[in-house]
């Protein structure tokens, strides 16, 4: 049954049909499929399939990319209260756009994917000063600072990731808090993340969820 359910859900996702995806989930619940089976057997595998499609350039559009994350987030939000035991989040991220950057679409996609993967996100919004990234990460005991930049000058600027790295170093937090960056400038120059002092980068919003979850799990070992 899970295989059939996953197929129907994926078809709705690829058609960017939110209502149909939610209908598939709700009908499954009525037939006795558990919330746990839906979250871990359908939603997360669907997100992973989207990641694969993006990484292998199989023609997934930005609309599919965005809707997949939003639907996953909505489904998880609806199902978590119904779980027999609410799953423990694997970690916590503070996320925002770098100072001077007001492009928030990629950030919203990342947050949706992280929620589906049981990573808690604290959204700092747009145009975030470097000091605030660090302050909020410490205040929320976050393992990751996620910085989105859609313009070269905000990615490379003095008040972007470079400054966040400097502050972490000055406060002795580099082993405790990692930096993940993303956005168009990093796709054009895959080595840019090292130049600006980040620990990792993600090519797009959905793969960011996978990169962040992987780093958190490695830090917990």
In the chain, CATH 3.40.50.280 covers 91-220
CB neighbour list of residue 109: distance below 8 Å, 6 or more residues apart: 65, 66, 69, 70, 204, 205, 206, 208
Distances (CA, A) of 140 to 100, 132, 135, 136, 137: 24, 12, 9, 6, 5
Pick the CATH number of 2-82 from 1.20.1630.10, 3.40.47.10, 3.40.50.2300, 1.10.1240.10: 1.10.1240.10
What's the whole-model pTM score? Answer: 0.72
d(Cα 12, Cα 22) in Å, to the nearest integer? 9
Backbone φ/ψ region at 123: left (φ over 0), alpha (ψ -120 to 50), beta = beta
Q: What is the pLDDT of residues 65-101, one digit of tens each?
A: 777 778 887 888 788 778 766 677 899 999 999 999 8
- Above 90 in pLDDT, residue 36? no
Query: Which of 22-36, 106-120, 202-216 is predicted with the least confidence, judged by mean pLDDT?
Result: 106-120
pLDDT band at 180 (very low <50, low <70, confident <90, very high): very high
Quick: pLDDT tens for 54-69: 656 666 676 677 777 7
Q: Under CATH, domain 91-220 is a member of which superfamily? A: Cobalamin-binding domain (3.40.50.280)
pLDDT for 74? 84
Note the maximum CA span of the chain: 56
């Amino acid at each position: 049954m899970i295989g059939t359910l996953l197929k129907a859900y994926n078809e709705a996702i690829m058609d960017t049909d939110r209502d149909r995806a939610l209908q598939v989930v709700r009908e499954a619940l009525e037939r006795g499929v558990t919330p746990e089976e839906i979250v871990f057997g359908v939603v997360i595998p669907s997100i992973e399939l989207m990641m694969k499609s993006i990484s292998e350039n199989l023609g997934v559009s930005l609309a599919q990319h965005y809707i997949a994350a939003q639907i996953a987030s909505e489904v998880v939000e609806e199902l978590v209260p119904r779980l027999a035991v609410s799953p423990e989040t694997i970690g916590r991220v503070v996320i925002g756009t770098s100072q001077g950057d007001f492009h928030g679409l990629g950030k919203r996609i990342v947050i949706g994917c992280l929620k589906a993967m049981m990573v808690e996100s604290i959204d700092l919004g747009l145009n975030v000063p470097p000091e605030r990234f660090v302050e909020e990460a410490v205040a929320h005991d976050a393992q990751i600072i996620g910085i989105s930049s859609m313009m070269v000058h905000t990615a490379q600027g003095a008040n972007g990731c470079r400054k966040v790295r400097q502050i972490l170093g000055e406060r002795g937090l580099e082993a405790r808090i990692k930096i993940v960056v993303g956005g168009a400038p990093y796709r054009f120059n895959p080595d840019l993340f090292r130049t600006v002092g980040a620990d990792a980068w993600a090519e797009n919003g959905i793969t960011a969820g996978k990169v962040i979850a992987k780093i958190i799990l490695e830090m917990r070992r």
